[in-house]
Structure 1
Amino acid sequence: MAAHEYYMPTNWRVRADIWEVYEICSDFEGYARWWPEVYLGIHAAGKDAETGNDVFAILSKGKLPYKLRWTSCKTVENAPHALSLKAAGDLAGRGTWKFEQDGEYVNIRFDWYVNADKPLLKYLSPILKPVFRSNHYWAMDRGRESLDRELARRHKAEVSNR
């Protein structure tokens, strides 16, 4: 594995219905609303030539003082159990979300295989890879917290609409 190549798995467990979690995680445009500490902006950017799926231009950040510009699109969907995507730009690679209902909980796994192609990251990865990995996990921790808030918001709205 080259210094700028990363494999970063993440596991979450939330009290929810698998379909609800899948709906949230598969709606790329919604990330900027419910995961705002990381996703600063997402907008439609055309269709992917290979898959025909919508491509989204993404501006994201972590705890470190740099921003990432990249695009993403879905490559495979097996609702509500899995969703795969590809990325290009400052981050280039692929990721897969997996969802499994376990009683009243959903076990969530995100496998991220990515090259850090932003020049700053690419050239500093040989010495700062642990710092960059830590930055990714900080962002994923914000995602877990944000998913909890989004689920609570939805449940509160459901109760209010009754």
Structure 2
Amino acid sequence: MDWNHYRFRSLWPLPVPPARVYAALERAEDYPRWWPQVRAVNRLGDTTAVIIIRSVLPYAMTFTARETRHDPATGVLEIAMSGDIEGWARWTVTAAGTGTLARYDQVVAVNKPLLRRFAVPGRPVFRANHRLMMRAGRRGLVAYLEAD
């Protein structure tokens, strides 16, 4: 097992229509407005940005995100990531009753030296840190969409 390799899946039930959720998720530069752990999104072009994230643990992760799929018809947004983490992430936005289900899938390898050093003992903590970040993101997005 590669202790520096992670697979994550988060499901966000949201009380607004899929088109509004997709529109919010496709504007990565706005993430810091509603997702506290997304500290900065610095656009390098139309499809590339440098993103800095930091959750509860005292470290930040910096990576370059490059859009690999942008498909409003199927509700899919996907990026390739390189930097402190390497891999991909995908949002899939679908209708669910009167609202939306936003599914987030991510497969990454950690490159940040400090995290690699503590890969085995830190793994449960790193996974919990990710869950907290995703929970805060969902809450932030709901508040952002309801205020809009």
TM above 0.5, yes or no, is yes
Unaligned runs of 5+ in 1: 47-52, 155-162
What corresponds to 2:31 in structure 1?
31
> 1:114-156 CA distances to partner (integer Å, 9 max, x unpaired)?
11111111121122111001101110001000011111110xx
Q: Aligned to 2:137, what secondary structure does the other structure show?
A: helix
Query: Which residue, out of 33, 54, 63, partners 1:70?
Result: 63
**Alignment-mate amino acid for residue 82 of structure 1:** V
Give the AA of the match of 1:85.
Answer: I
The runs of at least 4 aligned residues of structure 1 exceeding 2 Å deviation read none
Question: Pick from 87, 106, 116: which aligns with 2:110?
Answer: 116
Aligned match of 1:8:
8
- Counterpart of 2:40? 41
Secondary structure, aligned partner of 1:92: strand
Q: Which amino acid aligns with 2:116?
A: K
Equivalents in 1 of 2:41, 2:96: separation in Å?
31
Paired residues, number: 147
Letter in 1 for 2:49: F
After superposition, give the CA deviation of every residue in 1:48-67 in whole Å (9 maximum; x if it has no partner): xxxxx521111110111111
The one of 77, 82, 88 equivalent to 1:83 is: 77
3-state SS, counterpart of residue 118 of structure 2 = helix
SS in 1 for 2:3: coil
In the other structure, the counterpart of 1:101 is 95
Question: What's the CA shift for 1:26?
Answer: 1.2
SS at match of 1:147: helix
Q: Which letter does structure 2 place at the counterpart of 1:31?
A: Y
Pairing of 1:126-141 with structure 2 (within 5 A): 126-141=120-135
TM-score by length of 1: 0.86
Q: CA deviation at 1:8?
A: 0.8
Distance 1:4 1:28 in 2: 26
Letter in 1 for 2:43: A
RMSD: 1.2
Deviations 1:17-48 (A, max 9, x none): 1110001111111111121x2011111124xx
Q: Which runs of 5+ in 2 are unaligned?
A: none
